[in-house]
Amino acid sequence: MSLKIAVIVGSTRPSRVGRRIADWFTDQVSNTPNVDFTLIDLADVKLPFLDEPGMASTQQYQKEHTKKWSKLIDSFDGYVFVTPEYNHGYPASLKNAIDYLYNEWARKPVAFVGYGSLGGSATLEHLVPVVSQIGMVPLLNTSVKVIDVWGAFDEEGNFSEGNLRGSSPEKLMDNLVWWAKALQKARTN
């Protein structure tokens, strides 16, 4: 059975580099066998700050944007969060998108592509307890990290491999596919 993986762009500001990092990552791994990738850009999703009256875990959603977000996120077997480091944390846009839902994320793996001055190491550490709380399996050990991000692309838009730390995109995907397959099977048992 094929796996559906969402690559989620966590930053939304107009001059962000996040979309380019996500496009580069997706391009590197797009030929992974039996995996369908979907790029989700939170700047396009445009979720307002959490405005559901009920707890996400009850799934009693009242807003159309939540119902749409729920249906979309529920359809995946695993996720790659592409996130910058903002003052040693991750962007509020990403936290907001996570907090809208609960069961839709649960029992699924999430891998990380971090970027910033030091590859987003601090921000990835913050994400682990957050995603664990909603029952996701965080794959911190194979995070891709892009250091000195402002110099990561040349004038033609080519990625500089010298800015890569941590895992390669392929190694991240090996790990994500292993967990996504195992948990997909477990969820359907």
Tell me whether residue 11 or residue 167 sits nearer to ligand FMN (CB atom).
11
Asked whether position 85 contacts ligand FMN by CB under 6 A, the answer is: yes
- The partner residues of 9 in beta bridges, in order of sequence, read 41, 82
Give the whole-angstrom CA distance, residue 6 versus residue 17. 18
Nearest distance in Å: CB 2, ligand FMN: 30
- For the window 37-76, what string marks contact with ligand FMN as x by the rule CB under 6 A? ----------------------------------------
Give the whole-angstrom CA distance, residue 25 versus residue 19. 10
Asked whether position 149 contacts ligand FMN by CB under 6 A, the answer is: yes
Asked whether position 166 contacts ligand FMN by CB under 6 A, the answer is: no
CB-based contact 126:95 (threshold 8 Å): no
Give the whole-angstrom CA distance, residue 141 versus residue 182. 18
Interface segment toward ligand FMN; rule CB under 6 A; list 22-30, 68-76, 80-88, 133-141: 80-88
Q: Which H or E element spans position 146?
A: strand 144-146
CB-based contact 146:174 (threshold 8 Å): no
Q: What is the 3-state secondary structure (H, E, C) of 65-108?
A: HHHHHHHHHHCCCEEEEEEECECCECCHHHHHHHHCCCCCCCCC
Tell me whether residue 73 or residue 147 sits nearer to ligand FMN (CB atom).
147
Nearest to 144 by CA among 83, 75, 66: 83
Interface segment toward ligand FMN; rule CB under 6 A; list 62-70, 103-111, 112-120, 165-173: 112-120
Tell me whether residue 46 or residue 187 sits nearer to ligand FMN (CB atom).
46
- Which 8-state DSSP code applies to residue 38? E
Interface segment toward ligand FMN; rule CB under 6 A; list 49-57, 111-119, 129-137, 156-164: 111-119
Asked whether position 165 contacts ligand FMN by CB under 6 A, the answer is: no
Nearest distance in Å: CB 119, ligand FMN: 8
Residues at the contact surface with ligand FMN, assessed by CB under 6 A: 11, 13, 16-18, 84-88, 116-118, 149
